[in-house]
Amino acid sequence: MTVAVSQEYPLYDGVAPSWSDVQTTIHVSGGETVVDIDYAGFKFGTVVEVGEQRGASGGRLMKRTTGSKKDTLSATYYKSGLRKLLRALMAVAPQRGNQRLVSLVHFDIQTLHTPPGADGIYEQTARGCRLLKIDGGWTEGNEAEKVELEFSPAEIYFAIDSVEVVLL
């Protein structure tokens, strides 16, 4: 059997979205909008957990519930990026004495990828985030200092053709 070359080895067709094409914007509720580049990475997850009905069926699955969705988001920030984020949050954070309670501030994190030569935009947004954890430390060496952040997003969605796509 002969296979056409174009079917066996697909032709190169454009540029895939990559780290070099990402733009991240943080929209602080009641505050400023910050275009951010001082981070080393983001990690997100979205999962639907469903309930099951088995009854007296010998353990066989009979039905499932609609379930509930849980979104997670974390990031590795450079120390300079953390300071920029904290400044944006503290501007609208409630105050207790001389302290700003930044974990109570809500914000959205929007990432856009547009590869060179492409006309489409790959968009993902974490809506209603709160900063819950800052985890850092120091090590010897010449690398820029990084800190781990954990967020609590209300929802993560992908925008495709102006439609918000979610698991549930």
Q: Which pLDDT score, from 0 to 100, does residue 9 have?
A: 58
Which residue carries 């099951």 as its tokens? 52
Question: pLDDT tens digit string along 67-119?
Answer: 999 999 999 999 999 999 999 999 999 999 999 999 999 999 999 988 777 77
Can you tell me the mean pLDDT for 30-37?
93
Q: How many CA atoms, within 13 angstroms, populate the side-chain half-sphere of residue 135?
A: 9
Containing H/E element for 7?
helix 5-8
Is residue 132 within 8 Å of residue 152, measured between CB atoms? yes
- Separation between Cα atoms, residue 156 and residue 109, nearest integer Å: 9
Can you tell me the mean pLDDT for 7-32?
80
Q: What value, to the nearest 5°, has the Cα angle with vertex 24 and ends 101 and 167?
A: 90
Minimum mean pLDDT range among 24-28, 61-65, 115-119, 162-166: 115-119
| Beta-ladder partners of 141 | none
Question: pLDDT tens digit string along 137-150?
Answer: 988 999 999 999 99
- Domains recognised in the chain with CATH numbers: 14-165 (2.30.110)
Q: Which pLDDT score, from 0 to 100, does residue 6 have?
A: 52
Q: Which pLDDT score, from 0 to 100, does residue 114 have?
A: 83
Q: Is the dihedral angle over the CA atoms 137, 140, 75, 50 positive or is it negative?
A: negative
pTM of the model as a whole: 0.86
- Beta-sheet strands, E only, within the chain: 22-28, 33-36, 39-49, 52-53, 63-64, 68-78, 95-96, 99-100, 107-113, 122-129, 131-136, 146-151, 155-160, 163-165
Please name the residues in contact with 160: beta carbons below 8 A apart, sequence gap of 6 or more. none
Q: Note the residue count of the chain.
A: 168
